[in-house]
Structure 1
Amino acid sequence: MNGWPERIADEEALEELLSRPTAEVVEMMRRVDGDMMFLGAFGKIGPTLTWMARRATEQAGVPRRIYAVGRHVSPQRRQWCLDRGIEPICCDLLDRSQLAELPEVPNIFYLAAMKFGTTGREPFTWALNSFLPGLVCERFSRSRIVAFSTGNVYPLVPVQSGGSKEEDPPEPIGEYAMSCLGRERIFTYFSLTRNIPVVLIRLNYAHEVRYGIMVDLGQKILAGEPIELAMGYFNVIWQGDSNQMTLRALEYAAVPARPINVTGPEVLRVREVAVRLAELLGRPVEFVGQEAPTALLSNACRAYELFGRPQVAADQILGWVADWLRRGGPTLGKPTKFHVRNGRF
């Protein structure tokens, strides 16, 4: 027995699982001083990341305020936060006056980003991904910062290489990836000039049963749509694992900013994953195109040295996703577009 449920019953059970802290996260919360603020906290990852921080803080038995900041906070999400001891704040982070009104907090988690629909909205993409980090660093120049980045800053690499490492030179493809490298450069500039400890989480791809590459593949199979093979390989990591690594990364913030790849250890083949999903869903699967010799892959050995390996294996994620989709469970409606090779999202 691995201790994981055979199936995830509903969204309540899912969010509990994604926010369940490990003993290491709890111990870290005992060592770290001060409140925590999560900027851009109401996207795919923020709610369960902030809840994990709150749960770990409570289990550690230490006093700490957890702030969740977002531009739009629905009444339902506001109540969700309050019920869990998280303090929601509505704030347009691009508005300097609103940013200035945020409380002074020593530990900042930066989640704000724009990817989906970036083609045609490039100015907004650059503003959010590359300009906003400078505003945040100016506002929180006395804080430690954990900032989400992405594996998209790397080039496509040969599949047999095992993936890009942190010391490999970035070669972003397309404006989204370029703006993400811009985000990293701005954080690093302020880290150097203001002596701000920063860690950059190069994440790809966080996964749960409502969102992720396997969800994309499963939905295509259920819809009778062919699976594109050009981007024939990928990495994934269970969002609960990436959440705990992200929180623990706070202790590794450094000057200059330190990048850490966060993903799973398996290099998964699209064809094989799709065939297995089709079997579990009881549907046929069709493929189009040919597998290219390169793919967007990251090597996360540095993260495993610091935090240990992910607890949830890719095969477990696949089984949960297939069961969820077979039962008609809700999804987030945000395809990863992982198959895109030209960087146009």
Structure 2
Amino acid sequence: MMNKYPEKITNTEELEELLSRPSKEVIELLKHLDGDIIFLGIAGKIGPSLASMVKRACDLAGVKKRIYGVSRFREADEQQHIENLGIETIKGDLLDRNFLEFLPRVKNVFFLAGMKFGSENNLSLTWAMNALLPAMVADHFKDSRIVAYSTGCVYPLVPQESGGSLETDTPLPIGEYAQSCLGRERMFEYGSTRYGTSTAIIRLNYAVEPRYGVLVDIAQKVKNNQPVDLTMGYFNAIWQGDANNAVVRALGHATSPAWVLNITGEEILSVKAVAQAFGMIFGKTPQFTGHEAPTALLSNSGKAFALFGKPKVQIEQVIKWTAHWMQEDHKLLGKPTHFEVRDGKY
């Protein structure tokens, strides 16, 4: 298994290998984990690399498990790509109760389904995906272990000097999207308490790689000579491969009542400084609009670092990878994070 990281990522295959590269701790976890594994909502930005990491870890650990990936698979090639990773796919709508009840009740569940982009345009569906579905999943998989993705958006905006919100802080979600995400957490907490389901809730903020994320959003503005909004002047970010490793390892810490974990990077990053770093690489002078507000959406991941160690890939490296990826005109996912939003309306 490779341990070193390249100076540049030259193609999608190399990128996906890096994103799904399991740590020795993940391999050890899968070696001793009982039961099969299912990924609900596998076809999003994170699901393929997370599932691939689990499959690779199982192979390296020498254990055989059935690994399922569930999604509507709206794009024709999505399902084939997942199957090529060695994952058994199941196509259907998770909000269809008959379909959900058809799913095998395996021991280990990763819940990735949810709605963010365009959530303001269809608030009822947003609540259905982010709160109703988790209640249904918590019931169907009550005898399983569940790792459920949530978001740092459930926290209020906090001063940069605070170091970011802690898991023990009271959630104060801004806007209906964030409120629905807290609803998701509460439904998994309810299921965990009612049924004794071992559950870990992951407040992720933000995972990045060269095809999407806050770094890509900023880099595109700089590269295209568009102004970068400084109003949300600071943010957290973590290399998605490091986030994946932490999320898989969280499965081994799932408890009842449900357990909450922030996952993000070490630093509080400046939007302006990151834009200037891309400007140096691109040979551009970044343009800015607005001024840094005294607060931002920030999380403190000290609890995760104490458990799993700090991220292995530094953000400076991801900036270089992202800049090269864009200079080579490789494919982007076209899914902006809307990190600039301060009123919760995504």
TM tier relative to shorter chain: over 0.9
- Offset, 1:283: 1.7
Q: Which position in structure 1 is the counterpart of 2:111?
A: 110
Separation in 1, partners of 2:78, 2:337: 23
TM-score, normalized by length of structure 1? Answer: 0.98
- Offset, 1:180: 0.3
Q: Which position in structure 2 is the counterpart of 1:139?
A: 140
Partners of 1:73 and 1:90 within 8 A in 2: no
Task: Kindly provide the amino acid, as one letter, of the partner of residue 152 in structure 1.
Answer: C
Separation in 1, partners of 2:26, 2:110: 15
Partners of 1:41 and 1:47 within 8 A in 2: yes
- What do the CA deviations read for 1:13-70 (whole angstroms, capped 9, x no partner)? 1111100101000000012111000000000000000000000000000110111100
Task: Kindly provide the amino acid, as one letter, of the partner of residue 112 in structure 2.
Answer: L
Q: Which position in structure 1 is the counterpart of 2:219?
A: 218
- What do the CA deviations read for 1:242-279 (whole angstroms, capped 9, x no partner)? 11111110011111111000000011101111011011
Partners of 1:260 and 1:302 within 8 A in 2: yes
Task: Kindly provide the amino acid, as one letter, of the partner of residue 51 in structure 2.
Answer: T
Task: Kindly provide the amino acid, as one letter, of the partner of residue 101 in structure 1.
Answer: F
- Offset, 1:74: 4.1
- Offset, 1:11: 0.9
Matched position secondary structure for 1:119 = helix
Separation in 2, partners of 1:344, 1:198: 29
Q: Which position in structure 2 is the counterpart of 1:83?
A: 84
Matched position secondary structure for 2:6 = coil
Q: Which position in structure 1 is the counterpart of 2:199?
A: 198
What is the root-mean-square deviation in Å for CA atoms of aligned residues?
Answer: 1.0
Separation in 2, partners of 1:269, 1:172: 23
Task: Kindly provide the amino acid, as one letter, of the partner of residue 70 in structure 2.
Answer: V
Matched position secondary structure for 2:120 = coil
Task: Kindly provide the amino acid, as one letter, of the partner of residue 107 in structure 1.
Answer: N
Separation in 2, partners of 1:171, 1:59: 42
Name the % identity.
52
Q: Which position in structure 2 is the counterpart of 1:174?
A: 175
- Offset, 1:166: 0.2
Q: Which position in structure 1 is the counterpart of 2:63?
A: 62
Separation in 2, partners of 1:143, 1:339: 37
Q: Which position in structure 2 is the counterpart of 1:290?
A: 291
Partners of 1:229 and 1:288 within 8 A in 2: yes
- Offset, 1:103: 1.2
Partners of 1:114 and 1:128 within 8 A in 2: yes
Task: Kindly provide the amino acid, as one letter, of the partner of residue 215 in structure 1.
Answer: V
Separation in 2, partners of 1:45, 1:141: 24
- Offset, 1:328: 1.0
- Offset, 1:73: 5.5
Report how many residues are paired: 344
Q: Which position in structure 2 is the counterpart of 1:128?
A: 129
Q: Does structure 1 residue 185 correspond to structure 2 residue 222?
A: no
Q: Which position in structure 1 is the counterpart of 2:265?
A: 264
Q: Which runs of 5+ in 2 are unaligned?
A: none
- What do the CA deviations read for 1:270-311 (whole angstroms, capped 9, x no partner)? 111101101101122111111011111100011011111110
Separation in 2, partners of 1:82, 1:273: 37
Q: Which runs of 5+ in 1 are unaligned?
A: none
Q: How does 1:3-22 map to 2 (within 5 A)?
A: 3-22=4-23
Separation in 1, partners of 2:74, 2:226: 35
Separation in 2, partners of 1:91, 1:303: 34
